Structure 1
Amino acid sequence: MCRMFLLFVFIILLFNCFLDAQREKHYIHYKFTALSRADTFPEFSAVAVTDDRQIKHYSNEEGHWILTEDDWINAPEAPPDSRDWFLHQLNTLSNCTDSQCFEPHVLQRVIGCELEMFPEGTVNLRAFDEYGFDRDDFMSFDSDAQQWIEKNPKAKETKMKWDQQTERNQHLKYFLKTCTDWISSFNNTKKSKPDVHTTSRKARNDQNKQVLTCLTTGFYPRDIEMNIRFNKTVLKDHRSSGVRPNDDGSFQMRSSVKISRSQEGIYDCFVNHSSLTKPVEWGEWT
């Protein structure tokens, strides 16, 4: 019974990995952080991230957003709230004066939109504006109702104030609508095909075993399906590095498996990525 359950769980996980590789996902997130420390002015940072790449950042010295990657000039403008407004909210929530806070506090915000497209044509769109305070969920914005949803008992007073700021809420609704319109027509031209390398070596501690390794690198976007197979069947007893970033913004993944040298059959590295027109089998070991 236990083996049947484990096999069932493995099949579900494998199916979910296949779906992740098949669907196409895009997003843009504007991330804000304000941190107060005792006896210092609050520190503010903000970045815009699209499909795992930072495309903008806010310069505290120059007082405006700076484009990091020129290829993203058509991305939506930053949300309407200013740096000073965000720092004022932190001071209000923290009971800080204009010059100092007596305890450390952090206010965080993520605002943006996401798109998922599935092979059968289904499209999921999501727009959001979410806040966290002192590492707890705080509030989120309902753009249809133009009202705020409290996620924490400490947010009740802030919700009442923000619900009354009808002009600001209208601007936020317009920003989120602009964001979803942009992401719906988004064409990711930055896809990079994976470069796949396969190796085989004797196991160090067991001369009767062989170690097969598949390295996939240089691919973009991040989502990928990669498996080492025996006679077209995925091997589950493998070690994986998980997806890791490269210095150039692309990604890499490494998987290896230890097999018996006496077992006859064909092993291959199966890779499926959105940059490929169809899944590819690399480096057959026999």
Structure 2
Amino acid sequence: MIGLIVLGLLWGEISADSHSLRYVITGLTPITSFPEFLIVGYVDGIQFVKYDSDQKQLIPREQWMVESEGPEAWKRKLFLAREQELAFKDDIHNLKVKTNQTDGVHTHQMMTGCDLRDDKAVSGFNQYGWDGRDYISFDKDLMVWVTPVPWAESIKNSLDQGLVDKQRWKHYLEVECIEWLRKYLEYGQRELTIVAPIVSFIRLGDSNRLSCLVTGFYPQAIEVTLRRDGILIDETLSTGILPNHNRTYQIRKWVEFDPEDHAEYSCQVEHSGLEETLVVIYVPKSHFQVLATAGIVFGVLGIISLTVVAIVLHKKKASDGKMFSARSAGI
């Protein structure tokens, strides 16, 4: 359940002209060989920092974090992480009582972060989940806490009374979070260099499915759409955004189609690494292309066959000459 929440948050398609800062904080009831508390920070989907209750240390996952942050800043962040760990233990105990679930394994998650668009627009969120389901979130515009479940109404009412805390959350989401995101983007600009996507749009074998693969791009924010005669196709399948081994990302989208359909199918991609929208049009192989390809293959095979025959004949001739010379010499 934890993985589903995190992947949904981090790898979903977001605007192609934005950057993001995310923190996922997870507390669990004791499980063998798994930390009871974990914090993971992400910039544009790349993990850059981690803290867990087993190591009790704030661990940078990117070298640019070590080089850019001074020791005092790390001490402060470590203090806050340990403070959050203690708070989460209390929260789990209280939530077990509140939900009447004192037995079994339970998870408590907090997900908070912000987005910065190239047009300077900003957004932020702060939400909590219990056993994989949202139970309360903060609406920074209305300055109220919102809950979709009846059992959290008392929690909402209590939090709504804390005017100072709500003002702090609003300031963090709209100001502090964005400032940190800008700093991290500046710190890691070498590692976080924009890379344009590579796009291929093909038919999958002899199936009635077209596949658009977009890969090798950074940052992860991207928009990929499939169209028929320029009109958006709503019924498509998608892998969602997935990480590659080299810190870039990929996404694949499919659509069912009629091979006899003469409409123009295209895959359109918008990404910060592209100066303009990239449009890749599907070009089906014609009968002539298939015959031409087959002719080329057979032609190459014919050349290879003739070459082999020539070599064999040459060797045979040379061999016969050696035999004749040997016999003439009486050997």
The alpha-carbon distance between structure 1 residues 138 and 260, as it changes in their structure 2 partners (threshold 3 A), is closer
The alpha-carbon distance between structure 1 residues 244 and 136, as it changes in their structure 2 partners (threshold 3 A), is closer
* Cα distance per residue 1:47-87 (max 9 Å; x no partner): 11222222221132321221112245558975933312321
Contact persistence 2:110–2:129 (CA under 8 A): yes
1:192 CA displacement? 2.1
Partner of 1:279: 277
2:221 and 2:24 map into 1 onto residues whose CA distance is 22
1:226 and 1:156 map into 2 onto residues whose CA distance is 38
The AA in structure 2 aligned to 1:91 is H
Pair 1:53 & 2:46 matched: yes
Return the structure number with greater strand share: 1
Partner of 1:3: none
Partner of 2:240: 243
1:130 and 1:237 map into 2 onto residues whose CA distance is 30
Partner of 2:21: 28
1:102 and 1:201 map into 2 onto residues whose CA distance is 49
Provide TM-score, normalisation by structure 1: 0.64
1:240 CA displacement? 3.2
Q: SS state of the match for residue 82, structure 1?
A: helix
Pair 1:153 & 2:131 matched: no
The AA in structure 1 aligned to 2:90 is H
Partner of 2:114: 113
1:114 CA displacement? 2.4
1:242 and 1:220 map into 2 onto residues whose CA distance is 17
2:86 and 2:30 map into 1 onto residues whose CA distance is 17
Partner of 2:254: 255
Contact persistence 1:25–1:114 (CA under 8 A): yes
The AA in structure 1 aligned to 2:155 is A
Pair 1:67 & 2:68 matched: no
Partner of 2:93: 91
Contact persistence 1:267–1:284 (CA under 8 A): yes
* Cα distance per residue 1:119-176 (max 9 Å; x no partner): xx461333x443334534136486998xx7363224168638x949x7x889767755
The alpha-carbon distance between structure 1 residues 197 and 109, as it changes in their structure 2 partners (threshold 3 A), is same
1:21 and 1:82 map into 2 onto residues whose CA distance is 29
Pair 1:132 & 2:129 matched: yes
The AA in structure 1 aligned to 2:113 is G
Partner of 2:198: 195
1:89 CA displacement? 2.7
Bigger radius of gyration among the two:
2
2:261 and 2:166 map into 1 onto residues whose CA distance is 68
Return the structure number with greater helix share: 2
* Cα distance per residue 1:84-120 (max 9 Å; x no partner): 2321332244359xxxx64544322123322234xxx
1:130 and 1:42 map into 2 onto residues whose CA distance is 22
The AA in structure 2 aligned to 1:90 is I
Which consecutive residues of structure 1, in runs of 5 or more, have no partner in the other structure? Answer: 1-19, 205-209
The AA in structure 2 aligned to 1:251 is Q
Contact persistence 2:36–2:53 (CA under 8 A): no
The alpha-carbon distance between structure 1 residues 224 and 53, as it changes in their structure 2 partners (threshold 3 A), is same
Provide TM-score, normalisation by structure 2: 0.57
Q: SS state of the match for residue 257, structure 2?
A: strand
Which consecutive residues of structure 2, in runs of 5 or more, have no partner in the other structure? Answer: 1-12, 285-331
Partner of 1:224: 222
Aligned-residue identity in percent? 22
Count residues in correspondence: 246
1:201 and 1:107 map into 2 onto residues whose CA distance is 42
Q: What RMSD in Å do the two structures reach over aligned CA positions?
A: 4.4
The alpha-carbon distance between structure 1 residues 220 and 64, as it changes in their structure 2 partners (threshold 3 A), is same
